[in-house]
Structures are given as C-alpha cells and as structure tokens.
Amino acid sequence: MTDSNNSRSARTIAVTAGRPQNENDPLNASIVLASNFQSSGDYARTHGTSTWAALEQAVGELEGGQCLSFATGMAAASAILFALHPSIVVVPSVSYLGVRALLSDMQDHGHVRVVSIDIVNTEAVVKAMKAASVEVGAERVVLWIETPTNPTLDEAEPEILCRAANASNVKTVVDSTFASPIGQQPLKLGASVVMHSGTKFIGGHSDLMIGLALTNDAEVFEKLSRARVVQGATPGALEAFLALRGLRTLPLRYEAATKNANEICRRLQTHSAIEWTKNVGPMLSYIVTGGAAAADRVCATTSMIITATSLGGVETTMERRQKYAGDAHVNPGLIRMSVGIEDVEDIWSDLEKALAS
C-alpha cells in the first residue's frame, strides 16, 4: 500500500513520520509533561504539545489528512458531533454501542434526531440521507458510517456513500477503528471526517486510551480544534507517546494478525460447532451452535485466548457480545474475536479445544 501524496508505503510512513527534525534532537518525540509554556502564552489544552503533534503528524500522513488527538475514541466522536452540530444523524443500527449510546442521549436531550439504517443497504442509506436533507437542510445532516461494523463486521460501501453525500452537501463521518489506517483510508474515498479509537489497533498493546479525528476540510478542522479546546478532552502525554510507538509497528501487526484471522476463519467455516463466521482484517466474528450458553462455555474454556472486551492488541481476545444491553439485538451465540499475532497453530489449538467442549 502506498501513500498517494509521496508514494512512500504505509510501513515506511509508520516508521518515519512524526520524528523530531533538528540536529541533535532525540530520535523519538519526547514525552512533554507540560500544561504551561514560557513566554508564548501557550497552554497545552488550547495549543497542544509536541508529543500530540508527533502522533497527529504520523496518523495524518497514513490517512492523508490533518489529525487531532483526543482523550479516547468516544472523546473524538463527541467532539466531531459537537463540531458538525447536526440536527439529524443517519447511523448504522448495528454499530459500536458507545456511539449509539451517545447519540441516544443527545436525542433524549433534544439535540439531534437519530435515523437508524442498515449500513450495507447503500440505496436505503442514500434515500434516508436525502430525506433528512430535504427535512432539515443538507448542512444539518451527518451520515455516520462505521465500516466494518462492531460486532457483526458488516461492510458498507464508503466510496459510493461519500460520493452521494458530497453531491448532496452532507458531511460524512467514518468510524474506521476496525479497519485501522492500514485497512482503509476513508478520506481518500471522499469522507469529510475519519475517526479512530486509537485505543485499539493504533496503540496495539491494550495499554492506553486515545482517540483521533482527521479531515481535509480546513473549516471542519477549525471546528474540531475548537471542540477540543472547549470540551477539553485532550490526550495524556504518555498515551500519545505510546500510541505513536504502537503506530510504528501497526502495518506489521495488522498484516500478521490479518493472516492469522484469515486462516482461523477458513478453518471455522467447516467446523461442525460453527453456524456462521466472517473476518475483516484481524477482526473475526462467529456464531456458535447452541446459543448463549454454548458461546459462554467456549469463552470460559480457552486457556491462551483471553476473554476481554477490547480489541486490536497483539494478543488474541474474544467475547460474546449479546450479553451487553447495547448489543442485545445481535445473535446470542455471536463471539467477536480480535485475532492477535501469536502463532496461528497455537490460536487454533486453543480455540479448537474450547469448541470441542
């Protein structure tokens, strides 16, 4: 994969971007522990720090846009919605429960109206977006695209959706957390804003929380910057440093984990205890025959694979999702697995034993 601006590959950008540039500088960005700066009047929340800037530079080069870092993925989502200030948000009905909870609360407070759609039904999404534009004006509509979706791994057609939205002057936001900047670069497909929970693949080691928002639209960037200043959901210095360190190996980790996930998925497809399975990159979902009880047993029986809720780390984790109120509508036997970079035979042997139980 290459970056269209300068034709350097993602692997090279991940390793080289965001490094200090002056002679005798350290190789890596420093962990700047500062709220206050001498003489300039700079203050971290309002002006940022060089640690954040290094991370933002690197993610920005990978995605092909201007980047801002936030305290968490949800902080980035909140800032995006605050900045774009929509009256109607068209959102996938099956998607990350945290963003749907945020939108539901905003709706309860009378700030927005939420229109839930099946994100894979491109025609229906475009129809809903156009209907919303007619109702409140295109500038008051946001099309929120999550692809692939959490936890069912539905894949939207972001290029077609962004083109249709741009033609109608509707802003699009793509939550690209599951794909990471390696799996897709939605700004290049016409998205207005891209967001990541950097907590996941970008950090890659399950040891930090961070969020990222990117855009190529100068006006939107100004609004996002303002949202970060006034809402104050800024990242920690150590988190920004660690996220950048994680990013250095993102392409390698993502490729290795995808290779493992492809193989696990291939084997699950012919397994007698599996009703359905799919993977997109390292994310793999499968439905166990026997419903919730059987799926819970599988999760409880593995010895190496960790039952845990988050994803995107070097380690393989999995979880039955329907136990959460926000995911009550998904199949009770659905297990979402974030495949790691262990030896694929060790992952398979652990999973196969658990499935036999």
Ligand X SMILES: Cc1ncc(COP(=O)(O)O)c(C=O)c1O
List residues near ligand X by CB under 6 A: 72-74, 96, 98-99, 146, 150, 175, 177-178, 197, 199, 209, 211
Residue type, 331: N
Residues written for the chain: 357
Nearest-angstrom CA–CA distance, 157 and 325: 28
Amino acid letter, 350 = D
| Helices and strands, counts by H and E, the chain | 13, 12
What is the closest distance, in whole angstroms, from the C-beta atom of residue 311 to ligand X in the complex?
7
Q: Least distance to ligand X from the beta carbon of 343, Å?
A: 26
Q: Compute the least distance from the CB of residue 19 to ligand X, in Å.
A: 25
Q: How far is the CB of 137 from ligand X (least distance, A)?
A: 28
* Amino acid identity, position 8: R
CB atoms within 10 A of CB 262: 15
Q: Quick one: 330 or 344, whose CB is closer to ligand X? A: 330
Contact 83, 223 (CB under 8 A): yes
Report, in Å, the least distance between residue 98 CB and ligand X. Answer: 5
Query: Closest CB to ligand X among 112 and 209?
Result: 209
DSSP string across 146-176: ESSPTTT-----HHHHHHHHHHTT-EEEEE-
User: In the bound complex, what is the minimum distance in angstroms from residue 223's beta carbon to ligand X?
Assistant: 20
The partner residues of 36 in beta bridges, in order of sequence, read 43
Tell me whether residue 51 or residue 199 sits nearer to ligand X (CB atom): 199
To which residue do tokens 């493992």 refer?
A: 260
| Smaller CB separation from ligand X, 99 or 213 | 99
CB 237 within 8 A of CB 32: yes
CB of 76 to ligand X, least distance (A): 8
CA distance 312 to 205: 8
* Contact indicator for 175, 213 with CB cutoff of 8 Å: no
What phi and psi values does residue 113 have, to the nearest 5 degrees? -115, 135
Considering beta carbons, is residue 187 or 311 the nearer one to ligand X? 311
- Complex with ligand X: residue 92 or 190, whichever CB lies closer: 92
In order of 30, 58, 157, 182, 221, the CA distances from 199 in angstroms are 20, 16, 25, 15, 22
Whichever of 96 and 254 has its CB closer to ligand X, that residue is 96
Q: Which is nearer to ligand X, 97 or 256 (CB)?
A: 97
> Which residue in this structure is represented by tokens 């012919």?
270
For the record, the structure tokens of 75 come out as: 């902080």
Smallest distance, Å, CB 211 to ligand X? 5
